[in-house]
Amino acid sequence: MSGLIVTLLLATIAALALREFFKGGTGPVLFVKELRAFFLSPVAWVVLTLVMLLNGFSFTAALTDLQGGERAVTLAVYTFNSNQFWLAYFFIFPVITMRLFAEEQKLGTIETLLTAPVSTVQVLLSKYLAALAFYVVLWLPSMLNFLVFRLSSPDSAAAIGSLKGSYAIILLVGVFNIAIGCLASALTKNQLVAAMACFTFCLLHFLVGYVMESVPIQEQFRPFVAYFSTLAHVRTSIDGLVDTRQIVYYTSFAVLLLTATFHTLEFRKWKV
């Protein structure tokens, strides 16, 4: 019952924030501006190249493993369900998010932005949603690898479910980790510090679940541990099972982190 109350509360906060974001049409304009800034930055193209290389190496390794004969799992499982993939994966978020607010603070434009006739919610969500949109674009080229192998054909239901689950969990983890990056960037004017803080906390969240799974605990507590384990979520999703609890988990924590970022920006705004 308490979990339902918390979920409803966070959903209400998110709904009110989105309403404020679209109010007057200012939020979408800021969003387009931020998204354009991503694609005009050379760093964005470096990140896109690195993500394509990461996906290429993972995909090639999966194909090499499958050449040994028939396997009971899909190609998506071999591609995404590896510790190496997920450890390298967390380098994406610091690069995407480190400049969001830290650059504004370093250049001294954050005061102008926060005192302009736009709300803090519109500024925050425009930057967050632009980073999330760019993050989604990063993964679009990797889908071509699977289309080449016709994994989306009607006679491959298991492959379709596995592929959908893989990209669903990648999106959900991204929603959460980009929110971490927003908060880290809002707390400092140094982009390197923001990047290091984002990477540390993203990796810690991943490792806490990994360690908790390795610790011998009683059977009745295992579902609770699995709820906080990214690896457990990955395994479930790659098997084609997208659990609503995972959606609630990652979106709820993202809302909490964005709320903390909002209050950080508000504090800075009233200091101006």
The CA–CA distances, whole Å, from 41 to 38, 121, 236 equal 5, 24, 36
Give the count of domains, the chain: 1
Closest residue by Cα to residue 178 from 47, 3, 26, 19: 47
Closest residue by Cα to residue 126 from 261, 27, 51: 27
Q: Please give the pLDDT value at position 152.
A: 44
Q: Please give the pLDDT value at position 22.
A: 82
Q: Label each residue of 53-70 as H, E or C.
A: HHHHHHHHHHHHHHCCCC
How deeply is 154 buried, as exposed, middle or buried, from its count of CB atoms within 10 A (0-12, 13-18, 19+)? exposed
Q: Please give the pLDDT value at position 16.
A: 80
The residues of the chain scoring below 70 in pLDDT are 1-4, 6, 61-63, 65-78, 82-84, 87, 111, 114-116, 148-160, 209-210, 212-226, 240, 269-272
Q: Please give the pLDDT value at position 162.
A: 74
Q: Please give the pLDDT value at position 153.
A: 47
Question: What is the span of the domain harbouring residue 73?
Answer: 2-271
For residue 161 the two structure tokens come to: 């479910």
Q: CB neighbours (10 Å) of residue 181?
A: 30
**Alpha helical stretches, state H, the chain:** 2-22, 26-40, 42-66, 75-80, 83-89, 92-97, 102-107, 110-115, 120-148, 157-186, 191-214, 222-227, 230-238, 244-271
Closest residue by Cα to residue 137 from 39, 269, 265: 39
Contact assessment for residue 127 and residue 101, using Cβ atoms and an 8 Å cutoff: yes
How deeply is 272 buried, as exposed, middle or buried, from its count of CB atoms within 10 A (0-12, 13-18, 19+)? exposed
